[in-house]
Amino acid sequence: MVAPPSPRILPRASHSQPAAVGLASDRAAATVSSGRRRRNFVFVVNPSGSNGRTGKQWKQLLPHLRTRFADQCDICECITSAPFDAIDITREAIKDGADAVIAVGGDGTLHEVVNGFFCKGSPVRALDQGPDHSTALGLIPLGTGSDFARTFDWTDDPHQAIDRIVRGVKSKLDIGIMEGLDGNPHYFVNVADIHLSAKAGYFSSMYKRFGNLCYVFGALRAFWGHGNRDLRIKVNGGEWKTIHKVTALCIGNAKYFGGGMKITPTADPFGGDLEVVILQDFKWYDFLLKLHRLYGGTHLSVTGVTSIRVHSIEVAEKEVSADIFVQSDGEHFGFLPTKFSILPGAVDFFC
Q: Tell me if residue 323 is catalytic.
A: no
Is the bond into 83 cis (omega within 30 degrees of 0)?
A: no
Q: Decide if 67 contacts 94 (C-beta within 8 A).
A: no
For 22-29, which contacts have Cβ atoms below 8 Å and span 24 or more sequence positions?
A: 22/76, 23/76, 23/93, 23/96, 23/97, 23/98, 24/96, 24/97, 24/128, 26/74, 27/74, 27/97
N- to C-terminal Cα separation, the chain: 44
DSSP 121: T
Q: Decide if 324 contacts 335 (C-beta within 8 A).
A: yes
Q: Name 278's bridge partners.
A: 249, 306
**Quick one: CA torsion of 349, 105, 343, 186, rounded to 10 degrees?**
-150
Q: Name 153's bridge partners.
A: none
Of 74, 88, 96, 107, which residue is the catalytic one? 107
Which residues have a catalytic role annotated? 107
